[in-house]
Amino acid sequence: MSPLNFKKSSSLDLYLRRLNRYLLGVVVVFIPIYIFLKFASDESIRIKSIGEVIERIKEPIVWSVPKNGVRYASYFKGVPDEGNKFVLVDIKMKAMMKIGFPVVPRCFRLVDDIKTRYYPRTHSPFFIAYGDSFYMDQDATFDGTLLFEIPLHRRASNLLFDRFQK
């Protein structure tokens, strides 16, 4: 190989390496811009803020009992067992994200003043309206009345909600 041909091949290699670097630089710059624009378009789901997503994960179900939401009754579509009374608890629930487990009566527990826990009756107005087992989608709201039966001399002190597992 003559020295002249060697010089041409080395300058061609230098030119191709330089072209490779330019193309790589263009790809490195424009691919992230393309991805950003694709995910920021109206067609895709936008995440408004990471803080909001974290809050939804930390507290997937928000529920509350109004100020005067606990009532005691000696009759509610029938009488309680002897020595017992009915406790009616108004509840409002909102799913912050889709819940993957069913809400059943055993998810709720009423705690009395000596820390005894009671499950709601299946004929509670809440479960008559929504069924004995239902799933919650994101931003779905549910409100109704839970019916508990506790001894006459006890007072309701707390309402618990948790996933029920057999």
Residues 28 and 71 in one domain: no
Quote the longest CA-to-CA distance of the chain: 113
Q: What is the pLDDT of residue 49?
A: 63
Answer yes or no: do 90 and 118 share one domain: yes
CA atoms within 13 A on the CB side of 8: 5
Q: Are residues 139 and 101 in the same domain?
A: yes
Dihedral sign, Cα of residue 121, residue 122, residue 128, residue 131: positive
pLDDT beyond 50 at 77: yes
33 and 78 in a common domain: no
Element housing 63 (H / E)? strand 61-64
Residue 6: pLDDT band with limits 50, 70, 90: low
103 strand-pairing partners:
134
The single-letter code of the amino acid at 11 is S
Please tell me the predicted confidence (pLDDT) of residue 149: 92
105 touches 149 (CB < 8 A): no
- Domain span including residue 3: 1-46
Is 50 exceeded by the pLDDT of residue 64? yes
